[in-house]
Homo-oligomer: A and B are copies of this chain.
């Protein structure tokens, strides 16, 4: 063989003048000279590689799992990633991945691949021929192509609301069910930056998943788990549902790429196996040794004789054969070698093998937040990054829920218009580089555009501008306001609409005049509005005075009410113009606001909040409120870590100070009081106390955050009380379960604290609260943000971030959002709200749950003009979809009411409370479907799993039971009883969400 010829490659040829040719005499015969030339090495032939899958119980089994991690948007938009456009940013083309993977799978029946992101797969699928579709169906049905996770995207776990997580997963799962009749069995959250309890139990166990896998975990936690061999655990995400919600969970020892030296994308540098003896560089032995060494290293931190190699990376397999060719060879030669056993596998095969091993696994409760990938690198910045996008997504989420209800009432049109485009846009916005704010600026714009295309109408209402409501109501015209309530219980709320004139009256649908209040729109607010109008419409609003018209609307469950606003010549019934005052004070040098039970007290001199008093339940508490900011660390790489889109690394804490003392402005009226404060040139706040509500509403307008000093800033609001909260606070998991947090502490390992601020931040979607022996303080939010309690009795919420350095995690852009109008750019301003309330201990949950649901599902308003008084005569003025005598219990929410393509109706009911959370509401509850659908004949009700791709009973049958270390007495958790088809009642235990497909004999409530 060539390899045995000893030749000094570098030198032998260099001296080149040959005195003579030379040939060997060694075999000269008596008759003729024989020339000795090298025997050509064994003629290479077509090689058959034996890659038949077989598990060897006596060896380490290396499960090779070919995969491609395809972000549905990040550096490029989803469509650019799909089509391979904009490759100057990053070469990536998912169409290549799917085309070439399918081709490689069709070439060899032993190969396997998993695919994850249905948003991409759907795009691809639509473009394929029927012939190829049939072949792909075969691949899927034979398990060679397996859908894993199976949502539209791999959603983030910190910043999405659980309803969005369910919706986007359902979209993907139903697509898979519809096209392939398959149900994904494995959760595959390999990239998200921390992992939530809701993911484990709701988007895991409740989907019917057998297991969940991910890569990212705190570096300290990982180190300990490697030592303990506890990277694989049984995770129990819900305390209410107990062991019935457990899921086997595997954390990768390094990341979701293959071990070093085993990446085989086109142009990758790993050495390919070279087994053709006619070519140079034969290296089978060497590469097999590499493989065995890597396998043994991993086996060393893993229980059982099964290990998984994630054979892929971001957007890999653009030419799949380049991977499969090498894996074919590795499996063949490694198995010939015999020290370990290699096989093509999938996470479900791996899970099955783990289960069969009958091992005991450590129990994990709680979640995996926050995530740090090294010292000083806590990924807690993205909890708040791009607050405008986060707010927009949340608004659209609530809107979609309501729109689907209305679509159901009207009767769905499969050919459109329908809610599908919005559902699709909202689904991909849950991606872990979408709502997280960790995508590039142009990609964020793409997500938002998709949402807006779904939403389409009246996009500018968000800046108090909605032309129909501001039209001049003279000439006998009046404004019709329709308010829809998507919640199952009746609501009475103050509605505010912008109007351009005084002298208005508001009437309900019965013609009764109702009390209303006019609140002048502040000049700060007006200038902001005009700025954005220029940017959006290219013009400006009219210059006439503008007011908010506030009135109280009472709306039935799943129904609407209609109000008429018109100008009136009768002085008495006109809306009350609020009183403004700039320097009001009482004898104690105090300003008190609040017309009802709740009063807030401010110091008249400094305008500082000092007391929170609820006269109904006798709560009186010291309460301060302020803003501050962290200066962002200006690093350049992973060692010199900057604060950025992902990472929060503060470099100092500073109060927000106004340049001069600006006294607070008090606005008072019959329905609500407001406190206006210009806290600095770039921070304005309005605090509202409604007569009929017992919480304070704080509306903040922040930005442009100044960065002229070259320092990025992250703005926080702080609420301070004297509660002795003992380092403990509670934050929600995706808007659902509240999880206990203890400052500077982790229950799973002995925390080394390097970042005492960033390392205590947690994501919230609903809110945060803390308590002492007497009272509890709750703060609820209108979108995902980061929050913490760094000092006992204090709550801190991060509201906005503007940073000047990239944080070296790949996005390659500083999180420096700007708005440009006529080529002039300034930092992004955001407006948002949080709500705060103080209750006697044990009373807070009621507000957090009920009002939290109302924040998620605000009243939906629509407007029309009427000439004269024709509206009421031609339109239904008030409506409720449910039995007029019925209302949903206040611990139950309809989180899905949607007509499907097949005419069936998807209904999800959620119990809003956890076990033990509330004395009154944490109880088994019933919903009567007959009363929910009056006037319809329910012909069939099928209980489904959470993503509605299989019957719940089928899912339950397949559920794997896992043995848990040291768990002698597990609590299974309470569940509602089986659905009774005769009584048509649904029973829900605390934390339960139940999903049904409901069929009706006739589905239309109204003809169309």
* Stretch in A33-41, A240-248, A624-632, A749-757 touching the partner: A33-41
- A420 touching B495, Cβ below 8 Å: no
Please measure, in the bound complex, the distance between the C-alpha atom of A271 and the C-alpha atom of B76, giving whole angstroms: 13
Q: Known contacts being A13-B451, A532-B15, is A22 close to B832, with CB within 8 Å?
A: no
Alpha-carbon distance A390/B418, docked complex (angstroms) = 74
Report the nearest B residue to A529, measured CB to CB.
B15
Q: How far is the CA of A782 from the CA of B19 in the complex (A)?
A: 11
Q: Which B residues lie within 8 Å of A318 (CB)?
A: 266-267, 319, 322
Cβ contact of A79, chosen from B280, B410, B496, cutoff 8 A: B280
Q: Nearest Cβ in chain B — how far from A635, in angstroms?
A: 27
A32 touches which of B402, B409, B874 (Cβ 8 Å)? B409
Residues of B within 8 Å of A445, CB to CB, are 9-10, 13
Residues of B within 8 A of A181 (CB): none
A17 x B830 contact (CB < 8 A)? yes
Q: Decide yes or no whether A474 CB sits under 8 A from chain B.
A: no
Assembled-state Cα–Cα distance A405/B402 (Å): 91
With beta carbons under 8 angstroms apart, the residue of B17, B37, B403, B536 that contacts A421 is: B37
Pick out which of these stretches binds chain B: A42-50, A340-348, A671-679: A42-50
* Pairwise interchain contact B36-A831, C-beta atoms closer than 8 A: no
Contact call B79/A281, Cβ cutoff below 8 A: yes
A437-461 vs B, Cβ < 8 Å mask (1 yes, 0 no):
0000010111011011111111111
The residue that A37 contacts in the complex, of B319, B403, B464, with Cβ under 8 A, is B403
Knowing A32-B876, A403-B35, the reply to whether A831 touches B454 (Cβ < 8 A) is no
Most chain B beta-carbon neighbours within 10 Å: one of A266, A281, A832? A266
Do B395 and A35 have beta carbons less than 8 Å apart? Answer: no
Q: Is the CB of B410 within 8 A of A127?
A: no
- Tell me the minimal C-beta distance from A737 to chain B in angstroms: 26
A480–B46 touching, CB < 8 Å: no
Bound CA span A456–B21, Å: 12
Over the window 802-844 of chain A, the binary record of Cβ atoms lying under 8 Å from chain B Cβ atoms (1 yes, 0 no) is 0000000000000001011100000011111100000000000
Chain B residues with Cβ below 8 Å from A456 are 5, 24, 36-38
Residue of A34, A409, A480, A528 contacting most chain B CB atoms (<10 Å): A34
Cβ of A12 within 8 Å of any chain B Cβ, yes or no, is: yes
Are B272 and A84 interface neighbours, CB within 8 A?
Answer: yes
| A25 CB-CB contact with B under 8 Å | yes
Please state if A535 and B11 are interface contacts (CB–CB under 8 Å). yes
Q: A399-B21, A459-B12 are in contact. Are A416 and B39 (CB under 8 A)?
A: yes
Per the bound structure, the CA–CA distance linking A234 and B239 in Å amounts to 86
- Bound-complex Cα distance A860 to B35 (A): 12
**In the complex the two chains form, is B388's CB within 8 Å of A13's CB?**
yes
Which segment of A91-99, A571-579, A581-589, A958-966 sits at the interface? A91-99
A902 at interface (Cβ–Cβ under 8 A)? no
Residues of B close to A279: CB separation below 8 A? 79, 82-83, 123
With A14-B828, A403-B35 in contact, do A20 and B482 touch (Cβ < 8 Å)?
no
User: Is A35 in contact with B407, judged by CB distance below 8 angstroms?
Assistant: yes
Q: What does the 1/0 interface line of A985-1007 toward B look like (CB < 8 Å)?
A: 00000000000000000000111
Q: How far is B276's CA from A82's CA once the two chains are assembled, in angstroms?
A: 11
- On whether the beta carbons of B25 and A269 are closer than 8 Å, the reply is no
Bound complex: CA of A391 vs CA of B859, how far in Å?
A: 89
Q: Which of A250-280 contact B (CB under 8 A)?
A: 266-272, 274, 276, 278-280
Does chain B have a CB within 8 A of A463?
Answer: yes
A462 on the interface (CB 8 Å rule)? yes
Assembled-state Cα–Cα distance A556/B901 (Å): 94
For A982, the chain B residues whose CB sits under 8 A away are none
For residue A391, which residues in chain B have a CB less than 8 angstroms away from its CB? Answer: 16-18
Would you give the 0/1 interface string for A456-478, flagging 1 where the beta carbon is closer than 8 Å to chain B? 11111111101010000000000
By beta carbon, the residue of chain B nearest A828 is B14
Interface string of A417-441 (1 = CB under 8 A from B): 1111110000000000000000000
A312: min CB distance to chain B, Å = 16
Q: How many residues of A contact B (CB 8 A)?
A: 163
A321 interfacial contact with B, CB 8 Å: yes
Say if the beta carbon of A699 comes within 8 Å of chain B.
yes
Q: Chain B residues near A79 (CB, 8 Å)? A: 274, 279-281
Please tell me if the beta carbons of B46 and A129 are within 8 angstroms of each other in the complex: yes
B16 and A1006 contact, CB distance less than 8 A: no
Q: Does A880 contact B (CB under 8 A)?
A: no
**Nearest residue, chain B, Cβ from A20:** B861
Q: A16-B832, A36-B457, A269-B88 are in contact. Are A126 and B45 (CB under 8 A)?
A: yes
Task: Tell me whether A28 is interfacial, beta carbon within 8 Å.
Answer: yes
Please tell me which one of the listed residues B45, B398, B457, B860 contacts residue A127 in the complex, with CB atoms under 8 A apart.
B45
The answer, yes or no, to whether A406 is at the interface (CB within 8 Å) is yes
> Which B residues are in CB contact (< 8 Å) with A398?
21
- A13 and B452 within 8 A (CB): yes
Which residue of chain B has the shortest Cβ distance to A444 in the bound complex? Answer: B13
Judging by beta carbons under 8 Å apart, are B127 and A276 in contact?
yes
Smallest Cβ-Cβ distance to A91: which chain B residue: B267
Asked whether, in the complex, the Cβ of B266 is within 8 Å of the Cβ of A266, the reply is: yes
Task: Please provide the chain A residues from 487 to 522 with a CB less than 8 Å away from any CB of chain B in the complex.
Answer: 495-498
Q: Which residues of B contact A862 (CB under 8 A)?
A: 22-25, 28, 33
Is the CB of A77 closer than 8 A to any CB of chain B? yes
The residue that A11 contacts in the complex, of B129, B268, B819, with Cβ under 8 A, is B819
Q: A1008: CB under 8 A from chain B?
A: yes
- Could you say which of B20, B321, B528 contacts A858, with CB atoms under 8 Å apart? B20
Instruction: Tell me the minimal C-beta distance from A316 to chain B in angstroms.
Output: 11
Q: Cα distance A126–B42 when bound, in Å?
A: 11
Question: Contacts A10-B820, A11-B821, A33-B862; is A319 near B96 (CB within 8 Å)?
Answer: yes
Min distance, Cβ A295 to any Cβ of chain B, angstroms: 23
What residue in chain B is nearest A264 (Cβ atoms)? B84
Contact A39 B452 (CB under 8 A): no
Q: How far is the CB of A292 from chain B (nearest CB, A)?
A: 21
**Any B CB within 8 A of the CB of A847:** no
Other-chain contact of A24, B23, B399, B444, B458 (Cβ < 8 Å): B458
Whole-angstrom distance between the alpha carbons of A733 and B839 in the complex? Answer: 99
A362–B445 CA distance with the chains assembled, in angstroms: 57
Contact A47 B395 (CB under 8 A): no
Q: Are the C-beta atoms of B11 and A93 separated by less than 8 Å?
A: no
A699–B17 CB distance below 8 A: yes
Complex: A20 Cα to B464 Cα, angstroms: 9
Assess whether A17 is in contact with B123, with CB atoms less than 8 Å apart.
Answer: no
A30: Cβ under 8 A from any B Cβ: yes
Interface residues of A in 868-923 (CB under 8 A from B): 874-876
Q: Does A864 contact B (CB under 8 A)?
A: yes
Q: A8 at the A/B interface (Cβ < 8 Å)?
A: yes
Least CB distance from A458 to B in Å reads: 4
Contact indicator B2/A461 (Cβ below 8 Å): no
A900 CB to nearest B CB, Å:
16
* Bound complex: CA A828 to CA B421 (Å): 70
The residues of B that contact A8 with a CB separation of less than 8 Å are 535-536
| Given A24-B457, A38-B417, A410-B34: A829 and B15 interface contact (C-beta under 8 Å) | yes
CB-based contact B16/A85 at 8 Å: no
Q: Which B residues are CB-close (under 8 A) to A91?
A: 266-268
Q: How far is the CB of A527 from chain B (nearest CB, A)?
A: 13
- Give A111 Cβ to nearest chain B Cβ, in Å: 15
Q: Closest approach, in angstroms, between the C-beta of A140 and any C-beta of chain B? A: 18
Contact A1006 B31, beta carbon cutoff 8 Å: yes
A126 in contact with B278 (CB, 8 Å): yes
Interface residues of A in 278-324 (CB under 8 A from B): 278-281, 318-319, 321-322
A32 engages B1006 (CB within 8 Å):
yes
Least CB distance from A512 to B in Å reads: 22
Question: In the complex, are the beta carbons of A21 and B83 less than 8 A apart?
Answer: no
Distance (whole angstroms) from the CB of A785 to the closest CB of chain B:
12
Q: A14-B829, A18-B461 are in contact. List 4 more A-B contacts (CB 8 A).
A: A13-B448, A21-B395, A45-B126, A79-B281
- 10 residue pairs bridging A and B, Cβ less than 8 Å apart: A10-B819, A15-B831, A17-B782, A21-B858, A30-B876, A33-B484, A37-B418, A84-B266, A96-B322, A100-B319
Which 3 A-B pairs rank lowest in CB-CB distance, beginning with the nearest? A91-B267, A13-B448, A16-B391
